Structure 1
Amino acid sequence: MAGRRSRGGRPLDEKDLAALRSRTDMVAGYGLPPEAAEHTDAILLAFLSEPRTVGEISDRRLVYRSHVHDPHVLAVERRTAVRHLSRLVGASRVSEVEPGRFRAT
């Protein structure tokens, strides 16, 4: 990263590089610390003890509590479900047992 500069125009130092590495680690967990992603995975895997659709997973609410009814909630819940499912399918922890229905393996 020699020659790289911060947004303020100054050269990057070790503190900047450590912050970037930390950010990269968080992005790998979709913007969350790894423990949060693991916690959500555990909840999702337990819920997937029987086949479920993305809609059913979204209704289960992985991000927002059930009393929150803002307009963006359903889109966030659906995107979160799809991202976690994609990663868990890739790790062979979830399988698509029939089109659109997922179950923990």
Structure 2
Amino acid sequence: MDFNDYQKLANRTLYGNEQVLTNCALGLAGETGELIDSIKKYTFHGHDLNKEELVKEMGDVLWYLSQIAEWADIPFEEVAKQNIEKLQRRYPDGFSKEASLNREES
């Protein structure tokens, strides 16, 4: 499935009103917090890494991101494409600490 297909299929479950953008932004923050909490429990509390939980929470984050893009009439694939292009400019040889410390902001 490509990003634009995902965006359109996900939009089928969006409950819309005049506050869609705010709802999606707050939902994104909440779901990101749940993802981070799962990672915190693994990293600091001795829990097993729960991959099913990670997939579920990452899916929720992805849903909210796709719907913010949908609201703004931005093809979700464009978000992914521009992010990869930015990373290629910043780190043409892959990530390194040196490249990170000395990169120019664009």
Shorter-chain TM-score bucket reads: 0.3 to 0.5
Which one has more relative contact order, counting CA pairs under 8 Å at least 6 apart?
2
Larger C-alpha radius of gyration, 1 or 2? 1
TM-score (norm 2): 0.32
Q: Which has the higher helix share?
A: 2
